[in-house]
């Protein structure tokens, strides 16, 4: 007795590659200018298949950003929270950021969140919530690291942890804008190092020593 053929076509796409390709379109064109046809061409998936696999345009974007964040989070977390030197940890973190904001061939991608959806945030509450959550997450990351530094005596005990964290978050936002505007990677790296030095000075950084 012959086995019945299975219904439906087998999955012919790699979800990880498809989402990476979709995010590339969003980063190059911006959210509004990226059409479903652009996404279909980039992922080599028909529009009905895109909908079936990932949902509507906003859901495709959300899933693509989530994948990007998960893939890059470990390197950044290691730089901030496992590197013994606060200065080197911050410099390594921002070097990761610069590398993510400018492609290997020099293409100005910017941040996959700030550079893609900021223009739509005021008009679309859902997109506004996505942007607000992303900004809050960055602020919280730096506040946590600077609080640890204060407790460990790496910076002054009375340092304005919230203010220093906001300075570092603002640096990240500025790098996204400058990268999108075409600033080259070496210049972005130099800007990051200079601002990290200013932030550490403002925090009363003790260099390689522990403050008494």
Give the pLDDT confidence of 16-52 residue by residue, as tens digits: 999 999 999 999 999 999 999 999 999 999 999 999 9
Give the pLDDT confidence of 68-89 residue by residue, as tens digits: 998 888 888 999 999 999 999 9
47: which DSSP letter? H
- Cβ atoms of 31 and 61 closer than 8 Å: yes
Question: Residue 1: which pLDDT band, with cuts at 50, 70 and 90?
Answer: very low
The pLDDT value recorded for residue 47 is 93
Q: What is the DSSP string of 90-148?
A: HHHHHHHHHHHHB-TT--B---TTHHHHGGGTTT-HHHHHHHHHHHHHHHHHHHHHHHH
**CA 123 from centroid of its chain's CA atoms:** 22
pTM: 0.86
Two tokens at 95? 């070097």
Q: Region 105-119: what's the mean pLDDT?
A: 91
For helices 86-101 and 125-152, what crossing angle results, to 10°?
A: 160
Give the pLDDT confidence of 152-203 residue by residue, as tens digits: 999 999 999 999 999 999 999 999 999 999 999 999 999 999 999 999 999 9
Question: Residue 204: which pLDDT band, with cuts at 50, 70 and 90?
Answer: very high
Residue-wise burial string across 98-129, b where 16 or more C-beta atoms lie within 10 A, e elsewhere: bebbbeeeeebbbbbbbbbbbebbeebeebee
* Integer CA distances (angstroms), 11 to 45, 49, 163, in order: 11, 10, 49
Q: What angle do CA 120, 14, 24 make, to 5 degrees?
A: 30
Instruction: Tell whether the model's pLDDT for residue 6 goes beyond 60.
Output: no
Which CATH code for domain 15-203? Answer: 1.10.357.10
The SS3 assignment for 2 reads coil
């Amino acid at each position: 007795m012959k086995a019945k053929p299975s219904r439906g076509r087998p999955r012919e796409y790699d979800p990880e590659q498809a989402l990476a390709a979709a995010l590339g379109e969003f980063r190059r064109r911006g959210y509004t200018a990226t059409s479903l046809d652009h996404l279909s061409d980039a992922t080599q998936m028909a529009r009905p298949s895109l909908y079936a696999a990932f949902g509507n345009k906003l859901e495709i974007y959300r899933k693509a950003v989530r994948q990007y964040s998960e893939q890059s989070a470990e390197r950044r977390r290691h730089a901030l929270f496992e590197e013994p030197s606060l200065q080197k940890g911050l410099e390594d973190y921002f070097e990761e950021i610069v590398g993510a904001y400018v492609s290997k061939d020099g293409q100005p991608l910017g941040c996959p969140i700030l550079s893609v959806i900021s223009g739509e945030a005021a008009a679309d509450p859902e997109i506004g919530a996505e942007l607000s959550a992303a900004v809050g997450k960055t602020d919280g990351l730096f506040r946590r690291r600077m609080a640890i530094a204060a407790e460990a005596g790496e910076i002054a005990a009375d340092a304005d942890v919230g203010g220093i964290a906001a300075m570092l978050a603002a640096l990240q936002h500025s790098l996204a804008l400058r990268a999108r505007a075409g600033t080259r990677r070496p210049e972005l790296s130099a800007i990051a190092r200079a601002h990290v030095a200013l932030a550490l000075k403002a925090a009363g950084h003790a260099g390689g020593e522990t403050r008494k």
